[in-house]
Amino acid sequence: MKDEIIRELWTTKDAIAHEHHHNVKQLILSLRAKEKAAGVRAIDLSAQMQHGKKTVHTH
């Protein structure tokens, strides 16, 4: 079962990378556009940065 999950994650990762031409800047721009369209932040580090914490929480 674990191999199937890992395989699916890698397949998804590869598809996203391909969609953005393996360009991290394009990926970030795409994610920011999706956040803006949805009106929410996918990842908000402001609270952790203010308190010096390194834990990342996603919404």
User: Tell me: the pLDDT tens digits for 7-51?
Assistant: 999 999 999 999 999 999 999 999 999 999 999 887 777 877 777
Give the chain's domain count: 1
Q: What is the CA 53 to chain-centroid distance, rounded?
A: 19
Cα dihedral 30, 32, 37, 40 sign? positive
Please count the helices (runs of H) and the strands (runs of E) in the chain. 3, 0
59 found inside a domain: no
pTM, entire model: 0.59
Query: From CA 26, how far away is CA 22, in angstroms rounded?
Result: 8
Check residue 52 and give its pLDDT.
Answer: 67
Residue 3 — very low, low, confident or very high, per pLDDT cuts 50/70/90? very high
Q: With H, G, I as helix, E, B as strand and everything else as coil, classify residue 43.
A: strand
29 found inside a domain: yes
Structural domain span for residue 7: 2-51
Check residue 2 and give its pLDDT.
Answer: 81
58 found inside a domain: no
The phi, psi pair for 11, rounded to 5°, reads -65, -45
Amino acid occupying residue 31: L
Check residue 46 and give its pLDDT.
Answer: 80
